[in-house]
């Protein structure tokens, strides 16, 4: 969400759309972790403190827009109104799909040669080290459902949100294709994730 004043405040206000049992415990756990200060990645999109929350908000805006796009009458684009359960699903998928990134990006001091002066200097960089390597979508799914139940469609969407970049898909699994047949939320969340990382966050970084 470019130009947002306080990403954490925006995140918390959207989180209020999630009213199912356990949502409060899940949020309390998130607040006890580095979720609100973590980057979205070590090198690519959102490689800065708070990048993960900004990414989650970008996915929220994208997912909401494209759900309305897909569900509107083609003759009246943008007119579909989501009911509460759809709004809740959008909030859950967008805000929580990357909770697997909690506790995995560590700051380290590295050395580099300054391109202008040619001298060596220290700089702070993120290094990825996962103490709980359960898999990307799999780990988000596990962490969320420790506190709060998901519908089957939400579980599929979070599990497969990496799309063709998922390790299982790269290894030949056909389950992503089957999951996309079961629920449109699978490709919607993947599409929103791609738009956020490849368009919104690259634009914000001036790439």
Nearest distance, CB of residue 201 and Fe ion, angstroms: 10
* 200 touches Fe ion (CB under 5 A): no
Closest by Cα among 75, 116, 95, 81 to 192: 95
Nearest distance, CB of residue 41 and Fe ion, angstroms: 9
Closest by Cα among 34, 142, 143, 154 to 94: 154
Quote the longest CA-to-CA distance of the chain.
Answer: 62
Selected range binding Fe ion among 13-21, 26-34, 63-71, 191-199, rule: CB under 5 A = 191-199
Residue with Cβ nearer Fe ion (88 or 137):
137
Residue with Cβ nearer Fe ion (18 or 46):
46
Burial 18-40 (b: 16+ CB within 10 A, else e): beeeebeebbebbeeebbbebbb
Is the distance from CB of 159 to CB of 138 less than 8 angstroms?
Answer: yes
- What number of chain residues touch Fe ion (CB under 5 A)? 2
Nearest distance, CB of residue 45 and Fe ion, angstroms: 9
Residue with Cβ nearer Fe ion (80 or 153):
153
Residue with Cβ nearer Fe ion (10 or 193):
193
Closest by Cα among 206, 184, 204, 207 to 93: 184
Nearest distance, CB of residue 111 and Fe ion, angstroms: 30
Nearest distance, CB of residue 76 and Fe ion, angstroms: 31
Selected range binding Fe ion among 23-31, 83-91, 122-130, 186-194, rule: CB under 5 A = 186-194
Q: Which DSSP letter does residue 85 get?
A: H
Q: Which of 88, 193, 200, 201 binds Fe ion (CB under 5 A)?
A: 193
DSSP character string of 134-149? S-HHHHHHHHHHTTS-
Give the footprint of Fe ion on residues 30-89 (CB under 5 A). none
Identify each DSSP E strand in the chain by its residue range: 105-113, 120-128
Nearest distance, CB of residue 117 and Fe ion, angstroms: 37
Residue with Cβ nearer Fe ion (56 or 183):
56
Give the footprint of Fe ion on residues 91-150 (CB under 5 A). 98
By residue count, the chain amounts to 207
Closest by Cα among 140, 174, 134 to 157: 140
Contact positions vs Fe ion (CB under 5 A): 98, 193
């Amino acid at each position: 969400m470019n130009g947002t004043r306080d990403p954490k405040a925006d995140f918390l206000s959207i989180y209020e759309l999630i009213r199912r049992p356990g949502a409060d415990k899940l949020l309390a756990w998130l607040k006890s972790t580095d979720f609100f200060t973590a980057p979205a990645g070590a090198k690519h999109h959102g490689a800065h403190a708070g990048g993960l929350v900004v990414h989650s908000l970008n996915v929220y805006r994208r997912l909401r827009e494209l759900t309305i796009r897909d569900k509107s009458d083609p003759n009246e684009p943008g007119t579909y109104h989501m009911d509460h359960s759809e709004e809740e699903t959008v909030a859950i998928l967008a805000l929580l799909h990357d909770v697997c990134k909690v506790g995995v990006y560590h700051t380290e001091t590295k050395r580099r040669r300054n391109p202008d002066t040619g001298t060596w200097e220290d700089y702070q960089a993120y290094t990825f080290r996962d103490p709980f390597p359960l898999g990307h979508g799999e780990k988000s799914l596990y962490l969320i459902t420790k506190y709060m139940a998901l519908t089957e469609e939400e579980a599929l969407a979070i599990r497969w949100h990496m799309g063709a970049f998922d390790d299982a898909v790269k290894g030949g699994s056909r389950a992503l294709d089957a999951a996309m047949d079961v629920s449109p939320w699978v490709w919607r969340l993947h599409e929103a994730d791609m738009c956020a990382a490849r368009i919104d966050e690259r634009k914000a970084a001036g790439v």
